[in-house]
Amino acid sequence: MTALEPGARGGGAPWPDPIVDVRGASFAYGPALALQDVSFTARAGEFVGLLGPNGAGKSTLVRIVAGLLAPRSGEVRLAGIDPFRAPRRQVARACALVPQEPRVAWPFTVREAVMMGRAPRQGLLAVPDRLDHGAVRGALEACDLVHLADRRLDALSGGERRRVFFARALAQEPRVLLLDEPTAFLDLGHQVAAMRMAQLAARGGLCVVAVLHDLNLAAAACDRVVVLARARVVADGPPAAVLTEARVREVWEVPVWRGENAATGAAVVLPALPRP
């Protein structure tokens, strides 16, 4: 059984539904408003894409859900707890965040890095037990990293490194998986692989929320998309319904061609550049 399959992490108390529940949250960096009265929910088993232009507040919303920032007003519930005020270890057992460009300051091996995902369940000296080794093995298998397990992080390609941090998040065995631009700086093949892993995690019962810039990948992979613009939520629903030509033109302020993938029915959005 891999970490991605449902039931891989035993039962326990029933989780609140929706597991991510943000109500009327506002946030500002100094005088600049980053989020204004934003409400956002996500359920277990759902893959939600957060879309919107740069500076719309997507990353801020993710940080508020992860409890790294406290909203100025409004309320946040993550698996039933207030993620900013609850003990960090408790939050980290419920929610994993895969940062946009993970830092590699010290050359840990892949296995060491993935094992760090077990930190919120380990004691003072983080001596791994059988459960820890099992979770790490499952995460390495799920992310196709077994053959790289003893390599140093600084000897990996960008795509491989991204998989390591995804595996670390899986080893964390969270209920909620937050991905900040999981496809940035990746080539097409690695982008698809990253989306596929996120989809599988959601099918396995996780609540997956990803900040995405590629509308077509979001339309193809997400169950639901939420569009933020100027610190507010402007649309929320199935990708095909949300990503209309008019909305994309209005939110991103570019003319686009909107079509449909004949095979899957997914929305396709292409920027319409004028001929030179």
Partner 1 sequence: MKSSRRTRLALALAAGALAVVLSIAVSAAFGAQPLSVSAALAGRDPDATILFSLRLPRALLAALVGCALAAAGTALQALLRNPLAEPFVLGVSGGAALGGSLVLVAAAAVSRVAGAAGDLLGAAPPVAAGAVVGAMLSTVLVFGLGRIGGRLVPEAALLVGIVFNAFVAGVITLVKMLVPPEQASRLLYWLVGAVGYEAPGTLAVGAALVALSVAALVALSARINLLTLGDEEAASLGLDVRRVRAWVFFAASAATGAAVALAGMVGFVGLIVPHLVRRAVGPDHRLLVPASALFGAAFLVLADALARLAFLPLGTEPPVGAVTAFLGGPFFLWLLRRTARPEAAR
> Given the rule CB under 8 A, which of 2-10, 36-44, 111-119, 213-221 is the region that contacts partner 1?
111-119
What are φ and ψ of residue 274, in 5° steps?
-65, 145
By rule CB under 8 A, what string of x and - marks binding of each residue 154-183 to partner 1? x-----------------x-----------
Task: Candidates 19, 91, 143, 256: give the one binding partner 1 (CB under 8 A).
Answer: 91
Q: Which tokens is 270 given?
A: 């292409």
- State the DSSP code for 27: E
Minimum distance, C-beta of residue 112 to partner 1, in the bound complex (Å): 6
122 binds partner 1 (CB under 8 A): yes
187 half-sphere exposure, CB direction, 13 A CA radius: 5
Task: Candidates 87, 158, 237, 238: give the one binding partner 1 (CB under 8 A).
Answer: 87
Closest to partner 1 by CB, 22 vs 66, is: 66
Dist. CA 109–CA 150, nearest whole Å: 6
Give whole-number Cα distances, 97 to 66, 155, 261, in Å. 7, 23, 31
Would you say 228 and 58 are in contact if contact means Cβ atoms under 8 Å apart? yes
Dist. CA 121–CA 143, nearest whole Å: 21
By rule CB under 8 A, what string of x and - marks binding of each residue 36-65 to partner 1? ---------------------------x--
Query: If you search the block for the tokens 């402007």, which residue do you land on?
Result: 234
Binding residues for partner 1, rule CB under 8 A, total 35
Positions in the binding site for partner 1 (CB under 8 A): 63, 66-68, 87-89, 91-93, 95-97, 99, 102-103, 105-109, 111-112, 116-117, 119-120, 122, 124-126, 128, 133, 154, 172
